[in-house]
Amino acid sequence: MITKLFQGQDRLRACGWIAAFAMAATAVSAQTPAPRIRSEITNAEVTQLKPTQQALVPAEFDAGRMPSNTRLNGMSIAFNRTAAQQAGLEALLAAQQNPSSPFYHQWLNPDQFAARFGMSQADLDKVQTWLQQQGFSIDSVARSKNMIRFSGTVGQLELAFQTQMHYFKTSGEMHFAPSTVLSLPSAIASTVEAVGNLSDFRPKPMHVKARKGFTSGVSKNVFFAPGDIATTYDINPLYTAGVTGTGQSIAIVGQSAIQTNDIENFESAAGLPMKDPVMVLVPGSGTSTIVSGGDEGESDLDVEWSGAIAKGATINFVYVGNDPNQSAFSALIYAIDEKIAPIISSSYGACETAVQLNGGFATFESAFQQAAAQGQTILAASGDQGSTACSGDTVNGLTTTQQFAEAVNYPASSAYVTAVGGTAISTANDNSSNTTYWSINGTQDVLNSAKIYIPEVVWNDSSAQFGLSASGGGVSAEFAKPSYQTGVPGIPSDGKRDVPDVSLYSSPDLPGYLFCSSDQSDWIAASTSGPAQAASCNSGFRDGTSGGQYLTIAGGTSFAAPIFAGMLALINQKQEWTAGQGQANIALYKLAGNSTTYGSAFHDVTSGNNNCNAGTTFCGTTTGGFSAGTGYDLATGLGSVDLNVLAGAWPANATPLLGTTTTVSAATSAPDVSANDTVTITVAESNGTGTPTGTVNLSIDGSGTTFGAGGSTLTPVTLTSNGTATYTANFATAGAHTIVAQYAGDSTHVASTGSIVISVGGTSSGKGTIKMGMTPATLTVSRGAQGSESLAITPSGGYTGSVNLTYSTSNDSALANLCVFAGTNVNQDGSITISNASAVTGIITIDTNAADCVNTTGAALKGRGLHVIPRSGGSAKASNNVPKRSNPIPAGIAFAGLLIAGFLGKSSRKLRQLACVIALASLGLMLTACGGGVSGNTVSDPAKGTYTITFAGADSTNSAITAQSSFSLVID
């Protein structure tokens, strides 16, 4: 085979190819990894992890130790690869992207990747056994066999890894993380990449709100709807040719659940085909929860705009639940490990400095290499803070110097990720009076008003008043320049990874994007007193509740990334890359390196910069940045695209397989615990009438149903003659359970993935979601007094039912004697009943008087008409075994009595008898003066300070339907 392959070629070149072929062949072989753990795993010999292998927060932010009984779910141990595995993987990645290689675009599935690049089964068994010996439960083993996820208490974690878990207060927020470097048995230390998911520092969404209220039919302001982007970036010819993304799938990652009616409203307003995203809840990440304050809005816009561009594609929304130590980055790794889709888009990130402080890059880079080997393309927003990506990041404990230094965001800066930056249109073109670019129709809205491509400049709306609002771009401090980043004028010879790769319109003001969301933090506010907008997209794109004058508008590279993800789905369909194309940057830079193609397929942005010009508050003394120029630049990368031309120039698949779509359905969407539920997997051709054949691998909650030591994958189920297969699911625990079905493909059909989340323990009538909000945002209560909070639960999607309430605090130790009582609209059992589509507001009493809060159960409370809302993970009963409340005057008298008694006791027997009387009297004073307790017990009111109180609500029969909201409690 090799002789024929190189017949007639230069011998030196042939020798090189023989070596590469041999390495790649070794990489894809199914040989079993050799065991690496040679000795017994014991806690007697331990090794400290490197600081870059876990998150550490500066000590000055320490706010005290976490309670040892606090439970943490979904912690993880990630394993590294051997030198031979890494060399083989890198050889494979090169071969997969070389058209001359027999491995060109021959992607692996997760199980094939695990067979060559994962840990041995024997090693996984040993580590799991050790974890279980420490008291942990095993949640799952990654499909790639390079990570074990486990759960347990803080006390178990501290003992097993010889650390302490503390709270840290940074930038007014309370977080938790290890306070010291972890240690682990020396027998496994050399195999461990990192120990993760030990903190609740989450990445931030990268979208920014518009600064003006749009009433386009009145004010003539312009904004982008999906049809405008189809016009400006020349997508319409592809639609006309039937290229809509059919047969393609995109995974959007997030850290909040969404309400599908927002997606439907967007599609209806934009005139798009109606389709809901496939919801994929990351197993072991908690219950599905809507998180307002930016996360819900981020998820909405990412799903809406990726689907708006790839109208025929399947949009998979991969998100995490309410466990605070899980994030959008957890969803990203899960989307890779289960190969949810060939295209993954992330609008979350953090500056490289913060990532380095919070555990480093190794785990993510390992996952991104896995994605490349599996043919997955990852896109990430480059960020919205211009050249100073770390500005304002006090949450992660960055110093002032670090915040104001030039920096770029991660994962955009990874060489395995396509970084998408931002552009804007000039102010001269940002109004409907410029009829060269915009159409108007009197006082009526024009849905798709852009007429032609509108020239772009670097997005930079930064100002001292509003802060940073500019395209992220610059030079990576962590990664070397990848081999593909060459051949285009303007690319710096800096030896570093340069960001971004491409850019698209991103400004929230020039002109801003329309989207639909129930996240009120993204609604237009008329003043600082609160939002004037009362709803989103309940009358087309407008808020009909407020008289139809408000639209929901934002900007940021969070729009650019999912839009480019949709564009890549169209390219994949047109050029028949049905299985994906892996690292898109390789083809992207090769095309841009051809001057003719660059001139026609790209819009070279040559004006503007991403300088830090928002004043000293946001920039310190930094004013520099990067300017646009001919060719590549560090503000907009290669520029934007003419998609029709770019798609036509993109390399085509010479031997395409037929595309497939895998869907998963269940006989019962919400079965009872331990009840059989028939799950049907259907594999169909995306464009055609043929029937795929072969097998489907199932992953249940991140592992196969034969889960045990090693978490092996379920024995494949075989498709019948009609392209279907069935599986009988039976879950012993209530809650959300995620089933991922991966069709392996056959000789003519490409592999594809489908999924479903089954809500066990509920009823099918439990459809819908709930959202929770609390006012005021900050409640101030005098120590020993009471205050009231309003808790509103808003149903959607037809939800009705009973919502059980629990609460948690940022410091259970300090708030041991805090209690929460149910008031108006809250039932005696601490629940709120939702009977129709209207929101219900309950009144909650926050009591900081310890005397009210001890022994707060049973008849004593009922006699007072009080009903306690329980704390999550603990009892509602306050502790009466805490330090006693001080009372200086009686205590001083008592001490003086004892002192006198002591002196008198040195004299005669009669005086000593008097001393005893005085001592007993003094003791009596002490016993009566330090009171305040109940039934003779002594307690202290909660300490003064600022705390975070989080309420969670879960449907009484379906725990997958949940929501949460927080407020700040100030005890003064």
Which pLDDT value is given to residue 761?
A: 78
Q: Which helix (H) or strand (E) holds 590?
A: helix 584-592
Residue type (1 letter), 917? V
pLDDT tens track for 579-603: 999 999 999 999 999 999 999 999 9
How is residue 212 annotated by DSSP? S
> For residue 549, what are its two tokens?
């004058």
What does the alpha-carbon distance between residue 58 and residue 966 come to, in Å, rounded to a whole number?
25
Residue that is written with structure tokens 């379906």 in the block: 958
What does the alpha-carbon distance between residue 944 and residue 972 come to, in Å, rounded to a whole number?
5
Which pLDDT value is given to residue 130?
A: 96
pLDDT band for 550, please (50, 70, 90 cuts). confident
What does the alpha-carbon distance between residue 971 and residue 615 come to, in Å, rounded to a whole number?
35
Q: Which helix (H) or strand (E) holds 400?
A: helix 400-404
Inform me whether the pLDDT recorded for 385 exceeds 90: yes
What does the alpha-carbon distance between residue 612 and residue 621 come to, in Å, rounded to a whole number?
9
> For residue 253, what are its two tokens?
């990652």
pLDDT tens track for 829-867: 788 988 777 788 888 999 898 887 765 444 444 444 457
Q: Which segment of 31-40, 408-417, 523-532 scores lowest on mean pLDDT? A: 523-532
Which pLDDT value is given to residue 959?
A: 63
Which pLDDT value is given to residue 891?
A: 38
Percent of the chain scoring above 70 in pLDDT:
83
**Residues 6 or more apart in contact with residue 239 via CB below 8 angstroms:** 230, 311
Span 415-434, average pLDDT: 89
Q: Which segment of 115-119, 236-240, 427-431, 499-503 scores lowest on mean pLDDT? A: 427-431
Q: Is 198 exposed, middle or buried (0-12, 13-18, 19+ CB in 10 A)?
A: buried
Q: Which helix (H) or strand (E) holds 353?
A: helix 352-357
Strands (E), 358-512: 377-381, 409-410, 417-425, 456-458, 474-480, 496-499, 502-505
Q: How many other C-beta atoms lie within 10 A of the C-beta of residue 818? A: 26
Q: How many other C-beta atoms lie within 10 A of the C-beta of residue 8? A: 5
Inform me whether the pLDDT recorded for 928 exceeds 80: no
Longest Cα–Cα distance of the chain, Å, equals 122
Is the alpha carbon torsion for 385, 391, 396, 402 positive or negative?
A: positive
Residue that is written with structure tokens 């790839």 in the block: 310
For the chain, the distance separating the N- and C-terminal CA atoms, rounded to the nearest angstrom, is 81
Span 744-748, average pLDDT: 92
Q: Which segment of 127-136, 238-247, 309-318, 931-940 scores lowest on mean pLDDT? A: 931-940
Tell me what the pLDDT averaged over the chain comes to: 83
For the ranges 128-137, 856-865, 908-917, the maximum mean pLDDT occurs at 128-137
> Do residues 123 and 146 lie in contact, with contact meaning Cβ atoms separated by under 8 Å?
no
> Do residues 471 and 557 lie in contact, with contact meaning Cβ atoms separated by under 8 Å?
yes
Span 760-777, average pLDDT: 70
On whether the pTM is more than 0.85, the answer is no
> Do residues 834 and 840 lie in contact, with contact meaning Cβ atoms separated by under 8 Å?
yes
> Do residues 218 and 549 lie in contact, with contact meaning Cβ atoms separated by under 8 Å?
yes
Residue type (1 letter), 181? V
Which pLDDT value is given to residue 831?
A: 86
CA 786 to chain centre: 36
What does the alpha-carbon distance between residue 168 and residue 63 come to, in Å, rounded to a whole number?
5
Q: How many residues does the chain have?
A: 972
Q: How many other C-beta atoms lie within 10 A of the C-beta of residue 899? A: 12
Q: Which segment of 43-47, 415-419, 830-834 scores lowest on mean pLDDT? A: 830-834
What is the radius of gyration, based on Cα positions, of the chain?
30
| CA distances for 655 relative to 538, 649, 748, angstroms | 47, 17, 10
pLDDT band for 910, please (50, 70, 90 cuts). very low
Q: Each residue of 927-961: b (16+ CB within 10 Å) or e?
A: eebbbbbbeebbbbbbeebbbbbbbbbbbbbbbbb
Which pLDDT value is given to residue 350?
A: 93
Q: Which segment of 448-457, 651-660, 770-779 scores lowest on mean pLDDT? A: 770-779
Inform me whether the pLDDT recorded for 875 exceeds 70: no
Instruction: Identify which of 555, 548, 405 has the alpha carbon closest to the alpha carbon of residue 469.
Output: 555
Residue type (1 letter), 954? A
> Do residues 317 and 258 lie in contact, with contact meaning Cβ atoms separated by under 8 Å?
yes
Which pLDDT value is given to residue 623?
A: 83
Which pLDDT value is given to residue 774?
A: 84
pLDDT band for 960, please (50, 70, 90 cuts). low
For the ranges 478-492, 701-715, 837-851, the maximum mean pLDDT occurs at 478-492
- In this predicted model, which residue has the larger pLDDT, 495 or 49? 495
pLDDT tens track for 2-44: 323 333 334 334 344 444 444 444 444 446 789 999 999 999 8
Which pLDDT value is given to residue 911?
A: 34
User: 3-state SS of the chain: helix, strand, coil percent to 5?
Assistant: 25, 30, 45
Which pLDDT value is given to residue 62?
A: 83
pLDDT band for 117, please (50, 70, 90 cuts). very high
Name the strands in the sheet holding 724-729, side by side, starting at the edge strand that comes first in the sequence: 660-666, 677-685, 724-729
Percent of the chain scoring above 90 in pLDDT:
56
Parallel/antiparallel/unpaired status of strands 409-410 and 348-351: antiparallel
Q: Which segment of 83-92, 527-536, 886-895, 923-932 scores lowest on mean pLDDT? A: 923-932
Q: Which segment of 145-159, 227-241, 398-412, 917-931 scores lowest on mean pLDDT? A: 917-931
Inform me whether the pLDDT recorded for 926 exceeds 70: no
What does the alpha-carbon distance between residue 483 and residue 80 come to, in Å, rounded to a whole number?
24
Q: Which segment of 206-215, 359-368, 666-675, 677-686 scores lowest on mean pLDDT? A: 206-215
Collapsed DSSP state (helix, strand, coil) of residue 75: strand
The upper half-sphere exposure of residue 280, i.e. CA atoms within 13 Å in the direction of its Cβ, equals 36
Inform me whether the pLDDT recorded for 534 exceeds 90: no
- In this predicted model, which residue has the larger pLDDT, 836 or 903? 836
What does the alpha-carbon distance between residue 348 and residue 330 come to, in Å, rounded to a whole number?
11
The C-alpha angle with vertex 245 and arms to 334 and 299, in degrees rounded to 5, equals 45
